């Protein structure tokens, strides 16, 4: 088959802060040309299946292999069947040949590696073998199933079908307020509750190297996102690559059996709305239905006579329902940790956690751990060691069962929530029949990244790139990993073992160069923050190993976010958020990205008014208190430097008396920052950050189309000394008539602080 050439990787930003503006990272390749000799026509633009079609304006920059119109069957007569395919092939090969000049300049080797090709995106590989494609069934369209679709979707050697019982992709991240059963009599799949935030930074395992949070949201966002933001991110990659076209929604898998004679699986499904049953044959089956939907609910003596509320964490939805109550949590899982904090946050009187092994967290006041529960006597809980407590409600945080009702016993995984499940070679392949694969069945640290790695290994096995050993050798490898897990002595060993597992998958698949070192750094920092405070660790920002950008603190602290946070709040551009973002020491590249993101958020556009020249205005309302514009620190110049430029190309603003008489300079005529104007009644205030970036804060609600302006006198202190005073023509009701610097200290300016506040200078 034809192998698509790899694209050279963009340069990796150094870990230190450069004094000059670093080179902007190139965006992921949007289109990679493919080739189909059977359907190609002169003038065609070869793009992979599902890739966006370029507009005529973009055609000049799209790396497609466009056929010359001169290659026409009409002019070749009977020989067209030979020359047209040959011409197509030559044109395609030339389009794929990397530039030798570029290689010489960058030091790129001629031989391309699979790692380089797969780091950014998987190109379409035409199937020219003549053999029919292998049929692959994927069960589940949550994060695991979507990883499988992503890894396999560009390949003509594979025919993909995904079965999903819900109406949308996303799996557990789709919140369902219902408990019990759905309209079809099936158990509700979701274990999600509305106020859930990620219990670890997205930079550890939720962020994907080929689709970062920065790419998805277009701006830096907090490290511990709420449920809705994670769901939106998961669905974003599915939309980008068109993965939903492979999914049969509201389809329940009833039966999967192996047909040894035909060497294929028989898969029986039922379309829930119509009850139509379909039976199909597949060469491979990938099980990706998760293991957090079927509760494991151990019973204790006295449960049957407990008068209060008794439920499993799967059915937990609103912590506010337990306000003022004493709640007993049975179990020591991550569910117990998170629900305990939810109850504390929403006003439970007391939270008691009973578990065999103490968690030893720095619990806030009102949350405590006690020995193992022995029995209930009415409303009184009795624990080992003779302790007892009266409780109003019991929530069982005892985990979930691995449930695969569609599989026969010979193919069914039987395990607890462990790092190294039995019977799965490399954590993926069913040892007795590796045509059956499981994804995401481990106890998880790296989550989404691990799912992608497992899916890529499954892909390589299906395509014959990763040779599988026999059952005996597989079992030997499985036993070795399980022995190592049995020797784990603490949390650090736990993290280290899964880190090693993820690293091995990465080496086998050449998935990404940043794993796992960058993720591990964020993990270790997060664990330290968590050990310091369970209440504030979600508010801390961490750095992405893939986009090299820092996260921002959440617009609302986790402890204060007591209303389900809409996605718009998560993306809030508040002064407090961006100020803390700046305090973490951003690169100039990151400031450039932030500047662009803010401009896009408000739809900033250039305009002109007769007699007043150009201005910049938002296309949507800007609420008071929001940052309306960002001036990155690389636009700071000294007075001497500014004097050498055209006066129209810089904003004459002395930044609050900073030493060196620094000025904020526009970078080109007609740019947004060059078009900001003065007003004696401004709608913006300049906020100077420690690194000399300038945030322009909305003083009041700004209407769409209203020109943005600030008061030069709030920042220019020494215009007179420099001979720079000038007449004001703003025409506002409170126009002072003269711009001369230092006016913000005059009595009339102090009397109207809202109109022209003294610039806020944040200490370094």
Stronger pLDDT, 516 or 297, i.e. the higher one: 297
Q: 538-542: long-range contacts (C-beta < 8 A, 24 or more apart)? A: 538/197, 538/198, 538/199, 538/223, 538/224, 539/222, 539/224, 540/201, 540/223, 541/222, 541/223, 541/580, 541/581, 541/584, 542/201, 542/203, 542/223
Predicted pLDDT at 286: 99
| Alpha-carbon gap, residue 424 to 474, rounded angstroms | 8
Give the mean pLDDT of 195-223. 88
Pairing of strands 393-396, 309-312: parallel
Give the mean pLDDT of 56-61. 38
CB of 49 closer than 8 Å to CB of 154: yes
Top-confidence range, 89-98, 575-584, 649-658: 575-584
Q: How far is CA 51 from the centre of its chain?
A: 21
State yes or no: pLDDT of 48 exceeds 50: no
> Residue 171: which of 154, 195, 149, 152 has the closest Cα?
149
| Alpha-carbon gap, residue 644 to 651, rounded angstroms | 13
> Residue 358: which of 375, 379, 380, 383 has the closest Cα?
383
Residue entry with tokens 């990404």: 512
pLDDT tens by residue, 573-608: 555 556 555 555 566 777 777 788 788 878 888 887
Predicted pLDDT at 740: 65
Backbone angles phi, psi at 375, to 5 degrees: -170, 165
Q: pLDDT grade, residue 570 (50/70/90)?
A: confident
State yes or no: pLDDT of 35 exceeds 80: no
Stronger pLDDT, 714 or 756, i.e. the higher one: 714
State yes or no: pLDDT of 306 exceeds 60: yes
Predicted pLDDT at 490: 86
- List, in order, residues 6 or more apart from 624 with CB less than 8 Å away: 698, 699, 700, 701
CATH T-level assignment (fold) for domain 303-396: FAD/NAD(P)-binding domain (3.50.50)
CA 122-124-129 angle, to 5 degrees, is: 125
Give the mean pLDDT of 189-210. 91
| Alpha-carbon gap, residue 752 to 227, rounded angstroms | 43
Stronger pLDDT, 43 or 281, i.e. the higher one: 281
Predicted pLDDT at 710: 79
Backbone angles phi, psi at 739, to 5 degrees: -105, 110
H/E stretch holding 91: helix 80-96
What count of other Cβ atoms lies within 10 Å of the Cβ of residue 30? Answer: 15
- Distances 291 to 190, 238, 322, 490, 742 between C-alpha atoms, Å: 11, 21, 27, 24, 65
- Distances 102 to 8, 96, 716 between C-alpha atoms, Å: 10, 14, 47
> Residue 474: which of 455, 461, 493 has the closest Cα?
461
Backbone angles phi, psi at 88, to 5 degrees: -60, -45
- List, in order, residues 6 or more apart from 313 with CB less than 8 Å away: 191, 295, 331, 335, 336, 339, 395, 396, 397, 398
CB of 274 closer than 8 Å to CB of 250: no
Q: How far apart are the first and last CA of the chain?
A: 59
> Residue 551: which of 200, 234, 227, 210 has the closest Cα?
200
- List, in order, residues 6 or more apart from 597 with CB less than 8 Å away: 218, 219, 220
Beta-strand ranges (E) seen in 166-263 are 247-248, 251-259
| Alpha-carbon gap, residue 748 to 269, rounded angstroms | 77
Give the mean pLDDT of 63-68. 33
Predicted pLDDT at 80: 38
Predicted pLDDT at 170: 96
- List, in order, residues 6 or more apart from 621 with CB less than 8 Å away: 701, 702, 703, 704
Q: pLDDT grade, residue 257 (50/70/90)?
A: very high
Which residues of the chain does CATH 3.50.50.60 include? 134-293+401-531, 303-396
Percent of the chain past pLDDT 70, that is, above it, reads 68
Superfamily holding 586-761: SET domain (2.170.270.10)
Give the mean pLDDT of 426-432. 98
State yes or no: pLDDT of 3 exceeds 80: no
State yes or no: pLDDT of 453 exceeds 80: yes
pLDDT tens by residue, 479-514: 999 999 999 998 889 989 999 999 999 999 988 876
- List, in order, residues 6 or more apart from 545 with CB less than 8 Å away: 203, 207, 209, 514, 515, 517, 518, 519, 521, 522
- List, in order, residues 6 or more apart from 537 with CB less than 8 Å away: 224, 526, 529, 530
Q: Judging by beta carbons within 10 Å of its beta carbon (0-12, 13-18, 19+), is residue 76 exposed, middle or buried? A: middle
CB of 67 closer than 8 Å to CB of 44: yes
| Alpha-carbon gap, residue 192 to 196, rounded angstroms | 7
Give me the helices (H) in 463-574, please. 471-486, 491-509, 517-532, 567-570
| Alpha-carbon gap, residue 136 to 285, rounded angstroms | 6
CATH number of 134-293+401-531: 3.50.50.60
Task: Assess whether the previous peptide bond of 312 is cis (omega < 30° from 0).
Answer: no
pLDDT tens by residue, 261-295: 999 999 999 999 999 999 999 999 999 999 999 99
Q: Dig out the tokens for 537 from the structure.
A: 């660790």
CB of 649 closer than 8 Å to CB of 665: yes
- List, in order, residues 6 or more apart from 758 with CB less than 8 Å away: 714, 744
Stronger pLDDT, 87 or 450, i.e. the higher one: 450
| Alpha-carbon gap, residue 335 to 757, rounded angstroms | 47
Residue entry with tokens 């070869």: 46
Q: Dig out the tokens for 447 from the structure.
A: 């989550």
| Alpha-carbon gap, residue 149 to 162, rounded angstroms | 8
| Alpha-carbon gap, residue 452 to 145, rounded angstroms | 9
Which residues of the chain does CATH 2.170.270.10 include? 586-761
Instruction: Report the DSSP beta bridge partners of residue 710.
Output: 678
Where is average pLDDT lowest: 182-191, 232-241, 351-360, 714-723? 714-723
| Alpha-carbon gap, residue 118 to 515, rounded angstroms | 14
| Alpha-carbon gap, residue 438 to 290, rounded angstroms | 9
Q: Dig out the tokens for 174 from the structure.
A: 């789709």
Instruction: Report the DSSP beta bridge partners of residue 336.
Output: none
State yes or no: pLDDT of 652 exceeds 60: no
Q: Dig out the tokens for 82 from the structure.
A: 């030979």
State yes or no: pLDDT of 184 exceeds 60: yes
Predicted pLDDT at 83: 35
| Alpha-carbon gap, residue 631 to 666, rounded angstroms | 9
State yes or no: pLDDT of 66 exceeds 70: no
Q: Judging by beta carbons within 10 Å of its beta carbon (0-12, 13-18, 19+), is residue 634 exposed, middle or buried? A: middle
Give the mean pLDDT of 298-322. 97
- List, in order, residues 6 or more apart from 81 with CB less than 8 Å away: none
DSSP 145-180: HHHHHHHHTTBTTEEEEEE-SSSSS-GGGS-----S
């Amino acid at each position: 088959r034809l192998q698509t050439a790899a694209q050279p990787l963009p340069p990796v930003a150094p870990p230190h802060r450069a004094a000059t503006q670093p080179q902007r990272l190139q965006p992921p390749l949007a289109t990679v040309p493919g080739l189909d000799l059977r359907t190609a026509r002169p003038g065609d633009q070869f793009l992979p299946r599902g890739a966006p079609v370029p507009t005529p304006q973009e055609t000049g920059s799209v790396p497609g292999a466009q056929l010359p119109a001169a290659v026409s069957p009409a002019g070749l007569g009977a020989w067209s069947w030979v020359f047209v395919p040959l011409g197509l092939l030559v044109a395609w090969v030339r389009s794929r040949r990397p530039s030798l000049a570029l290689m010489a300049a960058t030091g790129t080797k001629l031989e391309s590696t699979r790692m380089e090709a797969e780091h950014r995106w998987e190109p379409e590989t035409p199937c020219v073998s003549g053999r029919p494609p292998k049929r692959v069934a994927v069960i589940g369209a949550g994060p695991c199933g979507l990883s499988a679709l992503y890894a396999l979707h560009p390949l003509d050697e594979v025919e993909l079908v995904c079965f999903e019982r819900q109406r949308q992709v996303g799996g557990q991240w789709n919140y369902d307020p219902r408990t019990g059963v759905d309209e079809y009599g099936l158990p509700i799949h979701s274990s999600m509750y509305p106020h859930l935030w990620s219990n670890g930074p997205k930079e550890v395992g939720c962020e994907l190297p080929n689709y970062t949070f920065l790419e998805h949201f277009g701006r830096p966002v907090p490290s511990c996102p709420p449920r809705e933001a994670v769901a939106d991110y998961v669905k974003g990659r599915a939309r980008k690559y068109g993965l939903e076209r492979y999914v049969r929604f509201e389809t329940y898998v009833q039966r999967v059996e192996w047909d040894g004679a035909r060497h294929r699986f028989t898969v029986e499904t039922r379309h829930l709305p119509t009850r139509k049953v379909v039976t199909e044959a597949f060469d491979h089956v990938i099980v990706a239905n998760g293991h957090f939907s079927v509760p494991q609910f151990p019973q204790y003596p006295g449960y049957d006579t407990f008068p209060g509320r008794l439920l499993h964490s799967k059915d937990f939805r609103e912590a506010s329902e337990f306000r003022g109550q004493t709640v007993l949590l049975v179990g020591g899982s991550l569910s117990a940790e998170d629900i305990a904090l939810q109850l504390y946050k929403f006003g439970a009187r007391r939270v008691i956690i009973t578990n065999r092994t103490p968690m030893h967290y720095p619990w806030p006041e009102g949350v405590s751990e006690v020995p193992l529960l022995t029995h209930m006597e009415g409303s009184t809980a009795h624990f080992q060691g003779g302790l007892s407590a009266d409780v109003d409600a019991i929530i069982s945080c005892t985990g979930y069962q691995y449930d695969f009702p569609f599989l026969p016993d010979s193919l069914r995984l039987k395990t607890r929530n462990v790092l190294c499940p039995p019977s799965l070679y490399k954590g993926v392949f069913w040892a007795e029949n590796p045509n059956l694969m499981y994804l995401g069945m481990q106890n998880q640290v790296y989550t989404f990244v691990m799912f992608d790695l497992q899916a890529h290994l499954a892909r390589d096995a299906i395509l014959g790139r990763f040779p599988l050993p026999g059952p005996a050798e597989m079992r030997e490898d499985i036993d070795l990993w399980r022995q190592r897990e049995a020797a784990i002595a603490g949390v650090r060993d736990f993290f280290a073992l899964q880190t090693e597992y993820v690293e091995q998958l990465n080496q086998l698949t050449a998935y990404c160069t940043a794993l796992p070192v960058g993720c591990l750094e964020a993990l270790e920092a997060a664990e330290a923050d968590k050990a310091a405070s369970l209440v504030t660790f979600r508010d801390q920002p961490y750095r992405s190993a893939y986009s090299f950008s820092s996260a921002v603190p959440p617009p609302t602290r986790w402890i204060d976010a007591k209303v389900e946070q809409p996605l718009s709040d998560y993306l809030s551009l508040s002064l407090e958020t961006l100020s803390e973002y700046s305090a973490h020491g951003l690169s100039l590249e990151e400031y450039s990205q932030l500047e662009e993101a803010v401009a896009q958020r408000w739809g900033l556009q250039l305009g002109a008014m007769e007699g007043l020249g150009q201005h910049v205005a938002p296309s949507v309302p800007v609420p008071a208190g929001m940052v309306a514009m960002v001036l990155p620190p690389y636009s700071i110049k000294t007075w001497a430097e500014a004097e050498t430029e055209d006066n129209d190309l810089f904003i004459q603003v002395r930044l609050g008396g900073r030493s060196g008489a620094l000025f904020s300079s526009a970078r080109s005529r007609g740019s947004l920052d060059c078009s900001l104007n003065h007003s004696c009644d401004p709608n913006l205030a300049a906020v100077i950050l420690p690194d000399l970036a300038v945030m322009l804060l909305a003083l009041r609600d700004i209407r769409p189309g209203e020109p943005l302006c600030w008061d030069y006198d709030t920042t220019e202190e020494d215009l007179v000394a420099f001979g720079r005073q000038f007449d004001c023509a703003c025409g506002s009701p409170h126009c002072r008539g003269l711009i001369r610097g230092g006016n913000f200290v005059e009595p009339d300016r102090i009397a109207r602080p809202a109109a022209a506040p003294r610039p806020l200078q944040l200490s370094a």
